[in-house]
Amino acid sequence: GAVVSQHPSWVICKSGTSVKIECRSLDFQATTMFWYRQFPKQSLMLMATSNEGSKATYEQGVEKDKFLINHASLTLSTLTVTSAHPEDSSFYICSGGRQGVIQDEQYFGPGTRLTVT
Amino acid sequence: AQTVTQSQPEMSVQEAETVTLSCTYDTSESDYYLFWYKQPPSRQMILVIRQEAYKQQNATENRFSVNFQKAAKSFSLKISDSQLGDAAMYFCASRDTSGSRLTFGEGTQLTVNP
């Protein structure tokens, strides 16, 4: 199966700083990548969808200037949380999808736990 | 827009027994896909089973099977011979065929008792 990695798996940052999370598709080209946020014991909330070479499409209520998403290549997407605050502490999950493979599912990364102190 | 509802926040089952997790959905699409994902304590999302809406036959994967009732928009997951490793959060999800965006349910936390 297709493999997606995320780095780092866990990060602690101080309030007001920025942190970047990388999402890589290791053995396939992810034409579309998705970023989710998950609070404890809750479901995954889609934050944004990004297509390679295009600007990300953000879900309603997600601040695009705070959560910067870049999808510069078919194997790498990054999420930068700018000016992080304690309320941004959460579990962030990315997934990749392959264009044209209609029956294909999304392939999920292992997630990144962000703690803002 | 699609919606997915899981009405059972928590379920428990004895090891080796069978348990059914419920899911209902709503969509205006005529063709779509339905999924069950498992999220163990590691929090890695794992695809358990997938059902194409145009297929009448219920999908099965070893001990996992679904009861897909298209008219009722119901998509339940049956786990047979439950094992301790089945303990996890289970999410039901839907996706239409025009894109790859997934819509998730609220999740059901499954506990397997030895």
Which pLDDT value is given to residue A99? 62
* CB within 8 Å: A32 and B44: no
93-112 of A, contacting B, C-beta below 8 A: 93, 95, 97, 102-106, 108, 110-111
B21-40 pLDDT, tens digit each: 999 999 988 889 999 999 99
pLDDT average, residue stretch A15-29: 94
Residue A12, pLDDT above cutoff 90: yes
CA-nearest of A12, A35, A15 to A23 is A35
DSSP-based three-state secondary structure for B86: helix
Task: Dig out the tokens for A64 from the structure.
Answer: 């695009």
Note whether A80 and A20 are within 8 A (CB). Answer: yes
- Classify residue B90 by burial, with Cβ atoms within 10 Å: 0-12, 13-18, 19+: buried
B41-94 tens-digit pLDDT: 999 999 999 999 999 899 999 999 999 999 999 999 999 999 999 999 999 999
- What's the pLDDT band for B110 if we cut at 50, 70, 90? very high
Query: Residue B97: its chain A contacts at CB < 8 A?
Result: 102
CB contact under 8 A, B45 and A93: yes
Q: Across the interface, do A105 and B101 touch by the CB < 8 Å criterion?
A: no
Instruction: Answer whether B104 touches A (CB < 8 Å).
Output: yes
Nearest-neighbour CA in chain A from B33: distance (Å): 8
**Is the minimum CB–CB distance between A86 and chain B shorter than 8 Å?**
no
For A80-117, what is each residue's pLDDT tens digit?
999 999 999 999 999 998 765 555 678 999 999 999 99
pLDDT one-digit tens code per residue, A50-82: 988 888 999 999 999 999 999 989 899 999 999
Q: Residues 11 to 70 of B: which have CB under 8 A from any A CB?
A: 33, 35, 42-45, 47, 50, 52
Q: Which residues pair with A91 in a beta bridge?
A: A38, A113
Task: Cite the DSSP H helix spans in chain A.
Answer: none
> Which amino acid does the sequence have at B6?
Q
Q: How many CB pairs under 8 A join A and B?
A: 44
Q: What is the DSSP string of A62-102?
A: --TTTEEEEEEETTEEEEEE-S--GGG-EEEEEEEE-TT-T
